Every structure is written in C-alpha cells, then in structure tokens.
C-alpha cells in the first residue's frame, strides 16, 4: 500500500474532560494546521503540518480546508432493523415495541428485505459521521449474516450480535434459548474477529429474557470470554416493574444480569435512566458501561438520565452515547448531543435547588453541563473506551485505524453560515473558537454538518 496523508484542522482527545473541571482544554489535542499520515488504513504519523510534513516529503496529500476533522463517531447503541420505523407515533417503550417494532423487525428474516434495510442503515450511519456502532439486530440468523456481510463490504468496525428475546413477545418473533445459543455460536465462529467485526452476545432486555435465555448468554460468555455483551437496562418504569416481578430474588435490574455473570468489562447496558446510586457504583466497580441515549429517552418519554451522577468521580461510569435509532428519532449523534445538553439543563432545574432547596447539588449540576469538549469526547475517545475498542479507534494516535469525519461548521439550516460567522470570520482557528463552532454544530445543525466521512483512510461518504 502507498502512504497517503490528509491536511486540515484536527481535534481529538488525550483524556476525559470530566476529569478537568474548569480546565477542560487540557483534555484536548488540537492542530489548526495538522497532517495525518496513513498507511494501509492505519495512522502512521500525526501532528502539526510543519513538524510532520518534512518526515514525508513525497506523500500524496488531500487537503480538507475549512472543516474540523474529528475521529469517526461511535454510536454505542443502535437498532439496525428499526431504520424504517424511525419517527413512529404515539407510544412509550412497551406498547411501541409491540405495535411498531416487532412486526417490522420480523421482516428481516427475508434476505432481500434485510439487504435493503441494511443498505439504508449503513448509508445513514456514514452520512451522520458514524464509523462504528454497537448494533442490535434481530433474533434471526439471516438478518445477522446480512449485517456482518455489509459491515465487511464497507470495511467498518462494527459490534453486533443475534438479538434474543423469548418473553413478552409474539410467537412469530420469539427465539428459543436453544436456537439462540446455536445461531449465536454459528455467527461467532463465522464473523467474530474477522476483518473489523466484533461479536456481542445480545439478550434484548431483562423483560424479554427467560432464565434459560440468560443462562445461554452466560454459557456463551464462559466459552468466549473475549466477546462483548450488549443489552438494555432500566429504561422505562413499566419495564423495570416487569423485570423485578420476574426475578424476585434480585433487588434491582442490574442484579438480574449479575446473576448470570454478564456484568463487567465489555458489558453495555443501554439507557440506565432509572439506575440507583448503588447500581451506578457497581457499574463503575466492574468496568461495565452505560450507553446514554438522550434522543430516545426523550422521544419515548423514558426519562432524564443523570449524566452528572454517572460522571461523579466517586464512581465514574464508562459511557458511550447512542442514538438508539428507531427508539431515538434521529440517526445523527449530533442530535443526540443536542438532546443530551437539554437533558442536563433539565436535571439542573432540580439540582440548582430552585424547586426543593435540599436537593441542591452544584457539583453534580456542573457535571450535567455538556460542554462541546465533553460532547465530542463522548462520541470518540470516551465511546471507544467504554466499548473497550480504544486500541483500534477513537483518536488520531499512531497505530489507530484511520476513521474520521470532516465537519462543516457553515452547514445546517439556511442561516448557519451567518450565525457561525458571529464566532469566526477567517484566519487560523484557535481551540477556543473551534469549541464554540462545535457547540454551534451540535445545537443548531445535524447531519448537514457532516461533509465527509472516511473509513480506514478511504473516503466513504461525501455530502452531495
Ligand atoms: N428494550 C428492548 N427492546 C428495545 C428496543 O428495541 N428499543 C428500546 N429503546 N428499548 C428496548
Ligand atoms: Zn435500544
């Protein structure tokens, strides 16, 4: 392979901004004029253009001007077969699943339908700047094969797995624990670790899993300790009551997954809206992660995730951000950032003590504020660390896979360029101005700001 390079303005993270309250810029690496050198999809050199370019005098260079280039976005929680039910009207989680989701997902047992839906799914990811996603599929083998085949065709680092459910589900859509185990085994052997694919044992949620299905997950994890585990937890109050009624030996939702030895590194529980302080502590102690899905939590009316609690240094929980599309009504993680910011602001109405003075907690309130650094860290390095894929992606460190997104801060609703020119009207960008522009992108724009998405050093999407 021939070495190539990209020149432009680069921003990534060297640390967790929540660890640098008041000095978040210490967590950032910024090169207003930088050079990223890539060989065979892997980053081989990176830094200021003036420093790096003399080391590569003949390298073929693509210049990406007037953009901010970040590591590709990581969606920690999304549902492939819900691409077509995006924006379904009128229900909270449990009736929404029955009315909209199970009938649609069932169609993915048909290969032609699955291929059509999967093509739309990946096209939408790339148009949103998302280069990696931890993905729910269905409990059907064909749907999962199509997912892994398409991910391989696009050379994307994806995590996914057969999504099992055998309770509170129509018969036509139910797995049996034996079929779940056997088909998961087939997929693990065929796809896990092949190319960029990673396999997640995926019990859909506690409310939809018999003890036998959870025991099958436990057995798979014992047989393949390097696998990921992806599920939902504590999303909706009706769901939680149902789970605790099924497991009267567990005193909270996390306890159900603990009972089957599923909780630890590489475990992600999506949502976690109603987690107790004790559950947060157990997530933190075991190295398990939560996927924060703000757009979904608002859209399905699930509730307000306690971001400032999850990021408490006393028990910092690993976090990815997820769209949860189609529970979330957008494919773009930029919209998730917008919603996450608003969730933080709403939580702070309680924490500033203005409703009940005894509930004032200014430190937690500060952690609820989704600064642009916290936001884009969460989509990149933070997401990668929470999913235990930071050896591959999430930063521009040498040795990482060259997945990145070029954001156009002038693109969005009609007046975006004029609006952003309040902050910046030319010249070399400073970190401070870049942060302001990034905040403008997440609060005012959407996937229109995604100008280019690169996968393994190749242009995979260019906005029309
Ligand atoms: N819990 C179980 N299945 C689902 C799903 O498809 N979406 C969401 N948001 N929550 C779930
Ligand atoms: Zn979900």
Residue 98 has pLDDT above 70, yes or no: yes
Query: Distances in Å between the alpha carbon of 363 and those of 16, 241, 320, 348?
Result: 17, 31, 22, 11
Same domain, 250 and 336: yes
Closest residue by Cα to residue 74 from 22, 122, 17, 133: 133
CATH code of the domain covering residue 19: 2.30.40.10
pLDDT in tens, 17-48: 999 999 999 999 999 999 999 999 999 999 99
Two structure tokens written together for 233 = 């937890």
Q: Which atom of ligand 1 is nearest to the CA of 296?
A: 9
Please tell me the pTM assigned to this model: 0.98
- Signed CA dihedral, 57, 61, 63, 69: sign only: negative
Please tell me the distance from the alpha carbon of residue 299 to that of residue 80, in angstroms, as a whole number. Answer: 18
Q: For 215-266, what is each residue's pLDDT tens digit? A: 999 999 999 999 999 999 999 999 999 999 999 999 999 999 999 999 999 9
| One domain for residues 48 and 95 | no
User: Pick from 386, 405, 434: which residue ends a domain?
Assistant: 386
The residue among 359, 386, 413 that closes a domain is: 386
CATH number, domain containing residue 304: 3.20.20.140
Best residue for ligand 1 mutational test, from 76, 79, 138, 268 (most atoms within 8 Å of Cβ): 79
User: Nearest Cα to 228, choosing from 163, 154, 313, 174?
Assistant: 163
Left if phi > 0, otherwise alpha if psi is -120 to 50, otherwise beta: which for 234? Answer: left
Contact 231/251 with Cβ under 8 angstroms? no
Give yes or no: residues 146 and 234 share one domain.
yes
432 and 317 in a common domain:
no
- My answer on whether 277 and 370 are in the same domain is yes
Same domain, 249 and 318: yes
Ligand 1 within 6 A of 324 CB? Answer: yes
Same domain, 293 and 243: yes
Give Dmax (Cα) for the chain. Answer: 67
* CA 5 / ligand 1 centre spacing (Å): 41
Shortest-distance atom of ligand 1 to CA 300: 9
77 Cβ closer than 6 Å to some ligand 1 atom: no
Is the minimum distance from the CB of 273 to ligand 1 under 6 angstroms? no
Evaluate: CB of 319 within 6 angstroms of ligand 1.
no
Is the pLDDT at 1 greater than 70? The verdict is no
Q: Using a pLDDT cut of 70, give the percent of the chain over it.
A: 100
> Looking at the structure, do residues 50 and 88 belong to the same domain, yes or no?
no
Domain shared by 149 and 66, yes or no? no
- Note whether 23 and 125 are same-domain residues: no
Number of domains in the chain: 2
Q: Which domain holds residue 414?
A: 4-72+394-462
User: Are residues 162 and 25 part of one domain?
Assistant: no
Q: Which helix (H) or strand (E) holds 48?
A: strand 42-48
Final residue belonging to a domain, choices 363, 386, 409: 386
Run of H or E including 142: helix 141-153
User: Cα separation of 408 and 440, whole Å?
Assistant: 11
Burial of 248 by CB count in 10 Å (0-12 exposed, 13-18 middle, 19+ buried)? exposed
ipTM computed for the complex: 0.99
User: How many C-beta neighbours within 10 Å does residue 20 have?
Assistant: 15
**Nearest ligand to the CA atom of 134:** 2
Q: Is the CB of 272 under 6 A from ligand 1?
A: no
The reply to whether 105 and 124 lie within a common domain is yes
Which tokens go with 48? 């200021």
pLDDT, one tens digit per residue, over 351-366 is 988 899 999 999 999 9
């Amino acid at each position: 392979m021939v070495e190539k390079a990209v020149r432009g303005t680069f921003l990534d993270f060297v640390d967790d901004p929540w660890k640098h309250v008041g000095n978040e810029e210490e967590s950032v690496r910024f090169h207003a004029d930088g050079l990223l050198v890539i060989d065979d999809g892997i980053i081989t050199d990176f830094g200021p253009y003036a420093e790096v370019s003399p080391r590569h005098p003949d390298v073929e260079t693509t210049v990406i001007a007037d953009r901010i280039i970040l590591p590709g976005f990581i969606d920690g929680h999304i549902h492939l077969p819900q691409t077509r039910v995006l924006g379904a009207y009128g229900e909270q989680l449990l009736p929404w699943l029955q009315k909209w989701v199970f009938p649609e997902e069932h169609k993915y047992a048909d290969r032609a339908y699955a291929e059509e839906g999967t093509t739309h799914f990946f096209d939408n990811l790339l148009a949103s700047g998302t280069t990696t996603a931890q993905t729910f599929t269905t409990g059907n083998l064909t749907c999962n094969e199509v997912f892994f085949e398409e991910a391989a065709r696009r050379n994307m680092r994806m995590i996914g797995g057969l999504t099992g459910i055998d309770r509170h589900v129509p018969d036509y859509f139910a797995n049996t624990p034996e079929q779940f185990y056997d088909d998961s085994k087939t997929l693990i052997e065929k796809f896990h670790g092949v190319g960029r694919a990673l396999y997640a044992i995926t019990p859909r949620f506690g409310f939809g899993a018999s003890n036998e299905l959870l025991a099958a997950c436990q057995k798979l994890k014992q047989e393949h300790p390097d696998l990921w585990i992806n599920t939902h937890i504590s999303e909706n109050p009706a769901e939680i009551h149902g789970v605790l009624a099924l497991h009267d030996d567990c005193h909270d939702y996390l306890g159900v997954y603990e009972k089957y030895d599923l909780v630890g590194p590489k475990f992600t529980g999506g949502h976690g809206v109603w987690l107790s302080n004790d559950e947060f502590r157990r997530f933190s102690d075991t190295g398990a992660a939560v996927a924060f899905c703000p757009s979904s939590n608002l859209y399905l009316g699930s509730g307000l995730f306690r971001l400032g609690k999850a990021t408490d240094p006393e028990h910092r929980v690993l976090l990815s951000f997820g769209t949860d599309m189609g529970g979330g009504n957008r494919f773009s993680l930029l919209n998730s950032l917008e919603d996450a910011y608003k969730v933080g602001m709403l939580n702070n109405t309680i924490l500033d003590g203005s409703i009940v003075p005894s509930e004032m907690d200014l430190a937690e309130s500060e952690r609820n504020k989704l600064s642009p650094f916290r936001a884009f860290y969460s989509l990149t390095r933070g997401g990668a660390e929470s999913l235990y894929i930071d050896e591959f992606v999430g930063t521009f460190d040498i040795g990482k896979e060259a997945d990145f997104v070029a954001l156009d801060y002038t693109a969005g609703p009609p007046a975006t360029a004029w609006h952003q020119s309040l902050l910046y009207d030319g010249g070399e960008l400073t970190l401070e101005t870049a942060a302001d522009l990034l905040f403008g992108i997440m609060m005012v724009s959407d996937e229109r700001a995604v100008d280019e998405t690169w996968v393994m050093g190749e242009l995979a999407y260019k906005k029309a």
